[in-house]
Chains A and B, each alone.
Chain A
Amino acid sequence: MGKIKVSEQQKYKHLFKKRPLYKRILSSWLSYLFIAPILIIFIWWWVIPFITSLGLSFCRYDIFNPPKFVGLKNFKTVFTNPVFWVAMKNTAIYTGVTVSIGVTLSLSLAVLLDQKIRFRNFFRTVYFLPSVTSAIAISVVWRWIYSPNKYGLLNYFLSFAKIKPLNWLGELNLILPSVMMMAIWGGIGYGMVIFLAGLQGISNSLYEAAEIDGANAFKRFWHITLPLLRPTTLFIVVWSIINGFQVFEQMYIMVRSIESIGGPLNAGLVVVAHLYEQGFERLRMGYASAVAYVLFAVIFTITIINFTLLKPKD
């Protein structure tokens, strides 16, 4: 189709003129009717709380008394509170370790289970099972696996190697690795399925051509599989990082002690647990909202960086 000259554009200007918004909506009323339910839910349960929470982050609010505007005080408290930084450090370590190991294992499993091996579907199902199980149910079972003394399942197996029983969820330096181990185990299935879907989209002819050119298995993986899986990897990394920063249930069930949500000396305290404790147990809704917005800013920034670094090249 040829380009329309400028003079002709002027001549047919009325045809290019946008119709008013209400007319456009009325002409597609049926489409808008279909999206209305989800739009209403989205606005009611997401947009309004999002804006309200932003407003609350500038207030002191204990749910009993009306909110009182305090300016940036809550944000200042967040940045000067050492407990917040402990939570942020733990969350960053948790996310860094679970995402890097989790994505690597998911990809390795996907590549392995993409081969023509016996019981392939059985293994795929087994690895995916934890992903469809409730995080709370998984955490309860793992608490039992991690039980201290000689009564825990893991300690029982370690005893065969003459290793003394470990206090998995009680020792300061073991709490976070223990929960991370469980999270990696529980998360690899989902990543594996997405990677498997990505692998189906890579044409066999590319591998055949590379093989004829003398490329070995590693080179085929490095120069064909990895680059072509870039969009899939981007999705999994972004999704895993967001989930990692928002981790809560596992930590809550696994490390919560009687009076501390983050376990002994906050060794397992993560940002969302800190937010929950401050908001819903200590009734510092303003402070909790400020924490939520700081977390949002962190996730948003990391996501932008990920998109920039991992964006598929043309």
Chain B
Amino acid sequence: MRSHIKKLFLSIIIGFLVIMMSNVVAYAVEIAFWHTGSQDEADAIGSVAEEFTQKTGIKVKVQVFSWQESRTKFLTAIAARVTPDIGTMGSTWPTFFGLKGGMIDLTKEFPKETKKIVDSTFPGAVSEYKGQIYGLRYDMTTLLMYVRLDIFNELGLSVPATWEDLTALIPKLKAADKDLVIGWGNKEWLGAYPFIWQAGGSPYNADGTKSTLTSPEALQGLKFFTDLYTKYGMPYAVLDAFTGFVTGDTPIIIDGDWIGPTLLSQAPEITGTWVVCMLPKGPVSHGGLIGGRNMGIFTASKHKKEAMQFLAYLTSAKAQKKIFDTIMEKAGGVMLSPNIKAWNILGLERNYARILKAQLEASKSPRFVIGGDESYQYLNDALNEIILKGDDFNKAVKKADDKTNKQMKLAREELR
């Protein structure tokens, strides 16, 4: 009897050890993935990671951080050299972290894999800095124009296609006690950049060493943007454009691409009454802004090769489709894939996808420039001075331009 117990006890221990060893063997490598965003998105990445683990044996541990805490979290992790292997973050952060030595230049360490991913990415969403790429695009967001056709038809208005149409429309809307509002980027740089691009301007010069806010094109774009508020009375007190659009108080809004799917899921009563359009064309283009997150590999990672393997898998059309479906199902939202090929299988409504794609092709992502972080605030200050305080337009923009140049010079010196 005693020998039986001994045997049983021994077999349990051996069995336990075998299971433990098999786990160790199967998941010899575990990569840590820090995601900036929501739990639903992290779960979607997790579901792709499970497939990846089954195929490669490499385990992926996904952790989520909110936008508010993630930058500080990454910074302190880099300083303490306790980083994850991969992180998703604001689109300009990887270059900043890379120049500080915290993230790797993917074009240098994994040229083939990086080129393959970049080739399948929307051109405007590739974040390159002097030939180096520290972050690959994880997702995209962009600005679109939404119009309540039912109200427009009732008021005898037509959808604006150009800047001139837009300024002609506002007084007619005002006469009917309605408004046009900018939801995402309201009186901020984020809303102003598209107008600079539409006028053919740019916030910085070609090599990112000087502000070009006072160039004639940038001034034209900024003037048009601020005039919408100061001359045409576009409201800057905006709770959320979505509510006004649903109630009909603001039957035309310029807002993020996520508004479309949100309207379908949260305001089904107005489905069929609204359309999505490209931003009105300026003197040069329909230029818009591409937001979203980039992801890259940290210098302190001990599993860079495996991390790159996962990045390649995650950016594939199949994985992007899975993430898209999971987020749509769980959160009722859309994660725009940066993979051009994935767009054919995402299952987006045809007309919506066509306009969205056209807008994305005409749009750009804000560039990383050394010392650029503060420049957003300087431009915001200028916009607020013009819109809220009624300050002189040229003086306010010149002040922002001077401050940006001074800051960029200082930041370059600090980096040396």
Report the bound CA distance from A148 to B249 in whole Å: 14
Given A62-B414, A64-B78, A265-B381: A257 and B188 interface contact (C-beta under 8 Å): yes
A314 on interface, CB distance cutoff 8 Å: no
A130 on interface, CB distance cutoff 8 Å: no
Mark the stretch among A87-95, A121-129, A183-191, A275-283 that contacts chain B. A275-283
With A151-B239, A165-B237, A167-B237 known, 19 other A-B pairs at CB within 8 A are: A63-B76, A148-B237, A148-B239, A149-B235, A149-B244, A167-B236, A172-B384, A258-B188, A258-B190, A259-B376, A259-B377, A260-B377, A260-B380, A264-B384, A264-B388, A265-B385, A265-B388, A280-B75, A282-B373
Asked if residues A280 and B373 are in contact (CB atoms below 8 Å), the reply is no
B3 on interface, CB distance cutoff 8 Å: no
Partner of A64, one of B101, B187, B385, B389: B101
**Nearest-neighbor residue (CB-CB) of A170 within chain B:** B237
Number of A-B contacts (CB under 8 A): 63
Report the bound CA distance from A279 to B101 in whole Å: 19
B168 on interface, CB distance cutoff 8 Å: no
A268 on interface, CB distance cutoff 8 Å: no
7 tightest CB-CB pairs across the interface, nearest first? A167-B237, A148-B237, A63-B79, A259-B376, A264-B384, A64-B100, A147-B239
Q: Min CB distance, B329 to chain A, in Å?
A: 28
Report the bound CA distance from A172 to B190 in whole Å: 20
Asked if residues B189 and A259 are in contact (CB atoms below 8 Å), the reply is yes
Asked if residues A63 and B75 are in contact (CB atoms below 8 Å), the reply is yes
Contact with B along A157-176 (1 / 0, CB 8 A): 00000000101001110000
Which secondary structure dominates where chain B touches chain A?
helix
Q: Min CB distance, A279 to chain B, in Å?
A: 9
Contact with B along A37-69 (1 / 0, CB 8 A): 000000000000000000000000011100000
What A residues does B100 contact at CB under 8 A? 62, 64
What A residues does B374 contact at CB under 8 A? 282
**Residue from B79, B102, B189 with most neighbouring chain A CB atoms (10 Å):** B79
Interface size class of B (residues with CB under 8 A): 20 to 34
Asked if residues B237 and A149 are in contact (CB atoms below 8 Å), the reply is yes
B238 on interface, CB distance cutoff 8 Å: yes
Asked if residues B78 and A170 are in contact (CB atoms below 8 Å), the reply is no
Interface size class of A (residues with CB under 8 A): 20 to 34
Given A257-B380, A259-B380, A265-B381: A172 and B238 interface contact (C-beta under 8 Å): no
Contact with B along A119-150 (1 / 0, CB 8 A): 00000000000000000000000000001110
Contact with B along A249-268 (1 / 0, CB 8 A): 00000000111100011000
Asked if residues B239 and A149 are in contact (CB atoms below 8 Å), the reply is yes
Q: Which of B68-111 contact A (CB under 8 A)?
A: 71-72, 75-76, 78-79, 100-102
**Nearest-neighbor residue (CB-CB) of A144 within chain B:** B239
Q: What are 12 pairs between A and B in contact, CB < 8 Å?
A: A62-B100, A148-B237, A149-B244, A167-B236, A167-B237, A170-B237, A172-B388, A260-B380, A264-B380, A264-B384, A280-B72, A280-B75
**Nearest-neighbor residue (CB-CB) of A63 within chain B:** B79
What B residues does A152 contact at CB under 8 A? 239
What B residues does A170 contact at CB under 8 A? 236-237
Contacts from A to B (Cβ < 8 Å): 62-64, 147-149, 151-152, 165, 167, 170-172, 257-260, 264-265, 280-283
B243 on interface, CB distance cutoff 8 Å: yes
What A residues does B190 contact at CB under 8 A? 258
Q: Which of B185-235 contact A (CB under 8 A)?
A: 187-190, 235
Asked if residues A265 and B384 are in contact (CB atoms below 8 Å), the reply is yes
Q: Min CB distance, B69 to chain A, in Å?
A: 10
What B residues does A167 contact at CB under 8 A? 236-237
Asked if residues B388 and A148 are in contact (CB atoms below 8 Å), the reply is no
Partner of B75, one of A172, A259, A265, A283: A283
What B residues does A259 contact at CB under 8 A? 188-189, 376-377, 380
Asked if residues A151 and B243 are in contact (CB atoms below 8 Å), the reply is yes
**Nearest-neighbor residue (CB-CB) of B181 within chain A:** A149
Contact with A along B230-267 (1 / 0, CB 8 A): 00000111110001100001000000000000000000
Given A64-B79, A259-B380: A281 and B72 interface contact (C-beta under 8 Å): yes
What A residues does B236 contact at CB under 8 A? 167, 170
**Nearest-neighbor residue (CB-CB) of A285 within chain B:** B79
Q: Min CB distance, A273 to chain B, in Å?
A: 13
Q: Min CB distance, B150 to chain A, in Å?
A: 21
What A residues does B238 contact at CB under 8 A? 148-149
Q: Which of B37-88 contact A (CB under 8 A)?
A: 71-72, 75-76, 78-79
**Nearest-neighbor residue (CB-CB) of B96 within chain A:** A283
Report the bound CA distance from A273 to B189 in whole Å: 21
**Nearest-neighbor residue (CB-CB) of A281 within chain B:** B71
What A residues does B243 contact at CB under 8 A? 151
Report the bound CA distance from A165 to B76 in whole Å: 43
**Residue from A149, A167, A265 with most neighbouring chain B CB atoms (10 Å):** A149
What B residues does A283 contact at CB under 8 A? 75
Q: Min CB distance, B174 to chain A, in Å?
A: 15
